[in-house]
Amino acid sequence: KLGVLPVFEAEFAVPIQVGGYANASPLQVSTAYRCAVVLRDLIMPYLLRRMKADVNAQLPKKTEHVLFCSLTPEQRSVYRAFLASSEVEQIFDGNRNSLYGIDVMRKICNHPDLLEREHSSNNPDYGNLERSGKMRFV
């Protein structure tokens, strides 16, 4: 029904894309809308959309478990170093966003390697589960 890729692009993708441009003519906008409606109607039988209200009755009651995980010595060291850093000073002075500090602390608590900008493929210990109190627990 949707055709091969070139047909799909010519009949649906391109008209919808062109009709979405800010400088599109009223005819192009109208054509894009009609193509989008036809496309929606064509794919609707293949999509399963369940609303939360429909599924809630079938789900078990939500349970939460609060678990306390100790930091590894490495995590504790990195955490203390961050607290003593100029970055934290800048946060307290209002020169840096506090969400930055929260994000850094979250990364430290999840795994110290998350602070690295790039995945270090030459470090064989990168991502080691034993270096994260949380991952050792899970």
DSSP states along 11-37: IIIHHHHHHTSTT--HHHHHHHHHHHH
pLDDT score for 120: 64
Task: Output the pTM of the full model.
Answer: 0.54
What pLDDT score was predicted for residue 137? 79
| Domain definitions of the chain by residue range | 5-53, 73-137
Backbone angles phi, psi at 95, to 5 degrees: -90, -5
Instruction: Mark 34-51 as b/e (b = at least 16 C-beta within 10 Å).
Output: ebeeebeeeeeeeeeeee
The amino acid present at 112, given as its one-letter code, is P
- Dig out the tokens for 137 from the structure: 């627990």
How far is the C-alpha of 129 from the C-alpha of 65, rounded, in Å? Answer: 21
Q: Give the closest residue to 71 by CA, choosing from 130, 123, 115.
A: 130
For position 119, what pLDDT does the model report? 65
**Please, what are the averages of pLDDT over each run of 10 residues along the chain (138 residues)?**
90 96 95 96 88 85 89 93 96 94 94 78 78 84
What the block records as the tokens of 98 is: 């506090």
